[in-house]
Amino acid sequence: MDIDIQLIEQSKIDSVDFNNLNFGRTFSDHMFTCDFKNGEWTNPRITPYAPFTLEPSARVFHYGQAVFEGMKAYKDDNDDIFLFRPDENFDRINKSAERLAMPPVAEDVFFEGLKKLLHLEKKWIKKGLGNSLYLRPFIIATEGAIAASPAEEYKFMIICSPAQSYYGGDVRVIIAEKYSRSADGGVGYAKAAGNYAAQFYPTSLAHKEGYQQIIWTDASTHEYLEEAGTMNIFFRIGDKLITAPNNDRILDGVTRKSIIQLAKDNNIDIEVRRVTVSEIKDAARVGELKEIFGSGTAAVINPIKGFKHDKDSFELADQENSYARFFKEKLLNIQYNKSEDKHGWRVKI
Sequence-separated contacts (24+) of 261-269 with Cβ below 8 Å = 261/343, 262/327, 262/330, 262/331, 263/327, 265/342, 266/326, 266/330, 268/239, 268/241, 268/323, 269/239, 269/240, 269/241
- Is the predicted pLDDT of residue 135 greater than 90, yes or no? yes
pLDDT of residue 187: 93
- Is 142 part of a structural domain of the chain? yes
CB 156 within 8 A of CB 36: yes
DSSP code of 144?
B
Task: Measure the N-to-C terminal CA separation of the chain; round to a whole number of Å.
Answer: 16
Percent of the chain, pLDDT > 90? 94
Q: What is the pLDDT of residue 166?
A: 72
Q: Answer whether 0.85 is exceeded by the pTM.
A: yes
**Residue 126 falls within a domain, yes or no?**
yes
Query: Does residue 177 register a pLDDT over 90?
Result: yes
Whether residues 51 and 151 fall in one domain = yes
- 340 located within any domain: no
Q: Check whether residue 179 and residue 91 sit in a common domain.
A: no
Same domain for 145 and 183?
no
Residue 168 has pLDDT above 70, yes or no: no
User: Which residue, of 163, 189, 221, is where some domain finishes?
Assistant: 163
Amino acid letter, 248 = D
* Size (the chain), residues: 349
Strands 270-272 and 240-243: parallel
The pLDDT of residue 284 is 98
Instruction: Give the up-direction half-sphere exposure of residue 265: CA atoms within 13 A in the CB hemisphere.
Output: 14
Q: Tell me the C-alpha distance between 45 and 2, whole Å.
A: 9
Judge residue 115's burial from the number of C-beta atoms within 10 Å of its C-beta, 0-12 exposed, 13-18 middle, 19 or more buried.
middle
Q: Is 198 a domain residue?
A: yes
pLDDT of amino acid 1? 83
Q: How confident is the model at residue 165 (pLDDT cuts 50, 70, 90)?
A: confident
State the total domains in the chain: 2
CA-to-CA separations, 316 to 41, 288, 327, in angstroms, rounded: 50, 10, 18
Query: Is 60 a residue whose pLDDT tops 80?
Result: yes
Domain range enclosing 210 = 172-335
pLDDT (tens digit per residue) in 329-340: 999 999 999 999
